[in-house]
Chain A
Amino acid sequence: MTKWYAFAGAVLGVVSWATVAIASDQAAADAAAAAPAATQEEAVAADAAAPAADAAVAEEGAVPAADAAVAEEGAAPMEEAAVEPAAPAVEEHAAPAATVNNPAEGWNTLWHHVLIDLYVIGGIFALITIAFMVTYTRKRDDQEGDLPPMNLVLSLTWALIPAFIFMADDFYLAANGWKLWIDQRNVPEGALEIKGLAYMYEWEFEFENGAVLSGNESRENPILLPVGAPIVIRSHSDDVVHSLMFPDFRIKEDVMPGRTTFIWFMDSAPGDHLFTCTEYCGVGHSNMWGRVKTVPATEFEAWIAEKA
């Protein structure tokens, strides 16, 4: 009888490992496919955002506040270029944007996969527990339980088979999570660059042509952004830790003094969206929000040129 359990364990173990292997292979292939793009983007980042030279290696290396002046200089040529409008820039990259995966859509898909996963695991556990609860009630006052005795083989079987199943599921989720992560953390080439600044209790966004827009004012007059184009916001804070969240774009990242962090996103269809602060920053924490509106690129170009 113990041999039967050992055999079942071996079979399930092999199946689990096969799942892991397939999932990891797929993730590795995706990572390899994304790798050249990532390298390019890092190179671009190194050229464009000169002070962030270390940042290209470590995504957001520390940019000491003392170097902020350098950062301004480094960004200056870019701003000049933007005067002869960013319009071609946006249109030029509208084509590659078609091949760029929208991380928000990826998030929604993965979220549904994860939910199915949770419902299956939760359902199995809950149904078994309920079955036991109903079946094994006390019939006589002096009745004791009748759990079959354990031995080494049984014990290890009951440890290793579940462990393999859980591990297979973990690696499946990790592989898919990593795949989405690659989309989320590699800014597509030629994304619209915005510099974000947070302080108690206001957001400021500086566009490539020098236009600076306030988060608080955007509640009345939303900040316009081009639809279909990747947009990257590289932000830092002047005082405490804040966090810039776009719930609809399924993205956030803390914004702090001494470092520059980024988020990137794109919208597939015109629409209205919120952004808000999600790291506790004091008495005005819940009052640090604004609106953006995604519009066709030409409308955005006209609008931003007017704000410059």
Chain B
Amino acid sequence: MKEWIFTTDHKRIGIMYLVGSMAAFVVAGIMALLIRLELSSLGPTLTDNATNYNVWLYFHGAAMILAFLIPSLTGFFANYLIPLMIGAPDVAFPRINAFSIWLFYVAIVLALSAFMVPDPPDVMWTGYPPYSVQTTGNTSMYVFTVHLLGFSSILGAVNFLCTVIYMRAPGMGWNQMNFFVWATLAAFVIQLIFIPVLAAAVTLLLFDKYFGTAFFNPDAGGDVLLYQNLFWFYSHPAVYVILIPAVGVVAEVMAGMARNPIFNYKVAVYGGAWAIVVLGSDVWVHHLYTSGMVDWLRIGMMVTTLIISIPVGLLMISLVGTLYRGSIQYNTAMLYAISVLFLFLIGGLTGIPLAMTSITLHLAETYFVMAHFHYVMAVSATFAVFSGVYYWFPKMTGRMANETIGKLGFVLNFVGINLTFWPLFSIGVDGMPRRYFDYAMFPEFEPTQKMATMGAIIIALSMVVVIFNWVYSAIAGVKAPLNPWGSKSMEWTHTQSPPGAGNFPTPPTVSADWSPYNYGKHTAQTI
């Protein structure tokens, strides 16, 4: 136990990130189930008190985004894989790395203790004032959770930027890195630039609520829209902090299981991931299309938001192209990865009408938006996480995950999420608003809500299967061969599973024609 808590080994820290973020995922998932059960019939179902429902909503949103998606994609995957993929013995600052996992765990404990105080936060994950200032709920818990997670992410970002810049194996050029490394690098640059903005916004919220300042209080010269702008100035790029590494994971899994290089690698890196970093900072007002911003800014951001479809489309082409003339094997990891192509297609395409101000005047704050971002984040990004865990499971544990149970879990999961979120698009277009405890004004939506609740129950079941499979296989799985997928990437070819201290028996060096994707006749020059 002690050797895990005080470890500075990036692999152990990575696994601790996975365990912590999965714990947050389970609790936030239970909240989601409670929310769906509450909505399954008109009027109060599980609770009479809408405040309970609002606390579930708050915890579900805040924990899923801040404590599950971001830490699992940039915490777990980056920690475990980046040093192995670039041939480094550890990260640049192992102790800072240990400190950031401690911060993460303190944040998780603080977030969970929301259920033990008499006045839990009920401010949604966005925490818009004046409500978050006027509420009797404990907004400070929200603020401090964001502070801790933000601090942890900034330390991680500095650490991994230094690691990738200075600790690549001798001879490894920038274009010989795995696409996942590039994707994570892009995500960390976003974190480093924009987290301070969120930290400032929530700190001002803290001052307004507890110290009598009036940054967001119009009666004393403040402005309610200031917070919304600062919040989305970070939180829209945060979507790309989730999306880009998720695409990175899916690309690695697809390249590995199709034994093909990533199609148009350089365009995916520079025209995809990095273009998103640049453009993604200029689109935040699309979250404020109905917030009363000036009209010219809404039109301007409509254009920038639509243009984001170019780098995202290039990434999609690279993913689909990776299958072309490949040698595809459908195991659980690949099923999750390839389903992301379709789910992200749905999520991404439904984002196009939401980019258009005039369409969004109706769709904003409805179930359409909710279904859209659940397809992007809850479904695509989460499937990417599951895909990655299955793919690197033999690397982490030295054992193979059980394929039968894995595929059963996948099928249940896939059916469940589509049954839950697909019908919500239609009632969203008909006007069902988000964050509603009850929908007395829309009794005709009850059957659809029931269907979504059934889907949520199937998802819960599939999660039991998936998590059981991981625990069972880690203890009693079949011993894994050294390179079960026949991958050419360094974490499979240059070390054992799981890698020992210092990662590589002999420090790797690479030649100019080495590539993590040198399948068939390919070398670094032909990719």
Chain A residues close to B by CB (< 8 Å): 58-60, 62, 64-65, 106-107, 110-111, 114, 117-118, 121-122, 125-126, 128-129, 132-133, 136-139, 142-151, 155-156, 158-159, 162-163, 166-167, 169-171, 173-174, 177-178, 180-181, 184-185, 239-241, 243, 245, 247-248, 250-254, 256-259, 261, 274, 276-287, 289
A169 surroundings in chain B (CB, below 8 A) = 309
Chain A CB within 8 A of B479 CB: no
When distances are taken between beta carbons in the complex, the residues of chain A under 8 Å from B298 are 181
Within the complex, what minimum Cβ distance (angstroms) separates A261 from chain B?
A: 4
Q: Hey, which chain A residues are within 8 Å of B219, CB to CB?
A: 65, 257-258
Total number of residue pairs linking A and B with CB closer than 8 Å: 277
Inside 8 A of A132's CB, which chain B residues have their CB? 320, 323-324, 326
Give complex CA distance A170, B346 in Å. Answer: 17
User: Within 8 Å of chain A (Cβ to Cβ): is B124?
Assistant: yes
A250 near B362 with CB under 8 A, answer: yes
| B331-350 near A? 1/0 per residue, CB < 8 Å | 00000001001100110011
| Inter-subunit contact B314/A163 (CB<8 Å) | yes
Taking a contact as CB atoms under 8 Å apart, the answer to whether A126 and B317 are in contact is no
Given contacts A144-B486, A241-B224, 18 further A-B contacts (CB under 8 A): A107-B359, A114-B359, A118-B353, A125-B341, A129-B341, A136-B258, A144-B260, A163-B271, A163-B313, A170-B303, A170-B306, A174-B306, A243-B290, A247-B431, A256-B291, A257-B130, A274-B431, A278-B290
Q: Say whether A155 contacts B128, CB under 8 Å.
A: no
Q: Identify B51's interface contact among A133, A144, A241, A283, CB under 8 A.
A: A283
Instruction: Report the separation of the CA atoms of residues A162 and B311 in the bound assembly, to the nearest whole angstrom.
Output: 10
Q: In whole angstroms, what is the CA distance A204 to B135 when docked?
A: 22
The interface residues of chain B lying within 8 Å CB-to-CB of A170 are 303, 306-307, 309-310
Q: Pick from A143, A162, A173, A254: contact of B317, CB below 8 A.
A: A162
Q: Smallest CB–CB gap between A220 and chain B, Å?
A: 13
Interface size class of B (residues with CB under 8 A): 35 or more
Contact B522 A147 (CB under 8 A): yes
| Structural contact, B326 and A285, CB atoms closer than 8 A | no
Instruction: Identify which of A136, A155, A280, A287 contacts B327 (C-beta below 8 A).
Output: A136
- Contact partners of A117 in chain B: CB under 8 A: 352
A175 CB to closest chain B CB (Å) equals 10
A residues less than 8 Å from B323 (CB atoms): 129, 132-133, 136
Chain B residue nearest to A259 in the complex (CB):
B292
Say yes or no: A133-B259 contact (C-beta < 8 A), given A147-B325, A166-B313, A278-B433.
Answer: no
With contacts A64-B218, A133-B323, A138-B327 taken as known, whether A285 is within 8 angstroms of B264 at the C-beta atoms is no
Chain B residues whose C-beta falls within 8 Å of the C-beta of A171 in the assembled complex: 306
| Pair A185/B431 contact, Cβ less than 8 Å | no
Question: Which B residues lie within 8 Å of A143 (CB)?
Answer: 259, 327
Instruction: Specify which chain A residues have a CB less than 8 angstroms from the CB of B50 in the assembled complex.
Output: 283-286
Query: Which residue of B218, B355, B522, B527 is within 8 Å of A258 (Cβ)?
Result: B218
CB atoms of B317 and A250 under 8 A apart = no
Partner of B358, one of A64, A125, A163, A181: A181
Residues of B with C-beta under 8 A to A277: 433
A-B contact pairs, 15 of them (CB 8 A): A64-B218, A118-B350, A136-B325, A149-B526, A173-B306, A177-B302, A177-B359, A247-B362, A252-B364, A254-B292, A258-B223, A274-B441, A278-B366, A278-B434, A280-B124
| B446 sits at the interface (CB 8 A) | no
Q: Note all chain B residues with C-beta closer than 8 A to A111.
A: 353, 359, 429
| Cβ contact of B264, chosen from A139, A158, A279, A280, cutoff 8 A | A158
What's the minimum C-beta distance from B356 to chain A, rounded to whole angstroms? 4
The answer to whether B152 has its CB under 8 Å from any CB of chain A is no
Which positions 398-447 of chain B face chain A at CB distance < 8 Å?
429-431, 433-442
| Closest A residue to B437 using CB positions | A286
CA distance A137 to B345 in the complex (A): 22
- The residue on A at minimum CB distance from B364 is A252
A286 contacts B326, CB within 8 Å?
Answer: no
Instruction: Kindly provide the distance from the CB of A162 to the nearest chain B CB, expressed in whole angstroms.
Output: 6
Query: In the complex the two chains form, what is the Cα distance from A65 to B259 in whole Å?
Result: 65
Judge whether A251 and B264 touch: CB under 8 Å.
Answer: no
Which one, B290, B314, B322, B358, contacts A147 given CB within 8 A?
B322
Q: Closest chain A residue to B224 by CB distance?
A: A256
Contact A65 B131 (CB under 8 A): no
Once the chains bind, are B294 and A58 in contact (CB under 8 Å)? Answer: yes
The answer on a CB contact under 8 Å between A239 and B521 is no
Q: How far is the CA of A95 from the CA of B349 in the complex (A)?
A: 40
Q: In chain B, what residue has the closest Cβ to A65?
A: B219
Contacts of B306 in A (CB 8 A): 170-171, 173-174
The reply to whether B435 and A280 form a contact with Cβ atoms under 8 Å apart is: yes
In Å, the complex CA distance between A65 and B267 comes to 52
Are B357 and A145 closer than 8 Å at their CB atoms? no
Whether B356 pairs with A142 at a CB distance below 8 angstroms is no
Is the Cβ of A167 less than 8 Å from the Cβ of B134? no
**Contact residue among A147, A184, A252 (Cβ-Cβ distance under 8 Å from B365):** A252
Given the contacts A158-B317, A181-B299, A167 and B357 also touching, CB distance less than 8 Å: no
Docked Cα-Cα span, A8 to B85, in Å, equals 38
CB distance B436 to A241 under 8 Å? no
Tell me how far the C-beta of A57 lies from the nearest C-beta in chain B, rounded to whole angstroms: 9
Give bound CA distance, A111 to B295, whole Å.
21
Complex: A224 Cα to B365 Cα, angstroms? 26
- What is the bound-complex CA distance between A167 and B365, given in angstroms? 27
A182 to chain B minimum Cβ distance, whole angstroms, is 9
Given contacts A65-B218, A149-B521, contact A181 B325 (CB under 8 A): no
- The answer to whether A177 touches B356, judged by C-beta atoms less than 8 angstroms apart, is yes
Give the residue of B51, B129, B328, B431 whose beta carbon is less than 8 angstroms from that of A138: B328
> By the criterion CB–CB under 8 Å, are B309 and A257 in contact?
no
Q: Are A252 and B441 in contact (CB under 8 A)?
A: no
- The chain B residue with its CB closest to the CB of A274 is B441
Q: Which 3 A-B pairs have the closest CB atoms?
A: A258-B218, A247-B431, A145-B260
B263 in the interface, Cβ–Cβ < 8 Å?
yes
> Beyond A118-B352, A147-B260, is A245–B225 a contact (Cβ under 8 Å)?
no
Is B387's CB within 8 Å of the partner chain A? no
Closest to B431 in A: A247
Q: Kindly state the separation between the CA atoms of A144 and B255 in the bound complex, as whole angstroms.
A: 11
C-alpha gap A252/B359 in the complex (Å): 11
In the assembled complex, B54 has its CB within 8 A of some CB on chain A? yes
B520 close to chain A: CB less than 8 A: yes
CB neighbours (8 Å) of B327 from chain A are: 136-139, 143-146
Within 8 A of A (CB), among B26-76: 49-51, 54
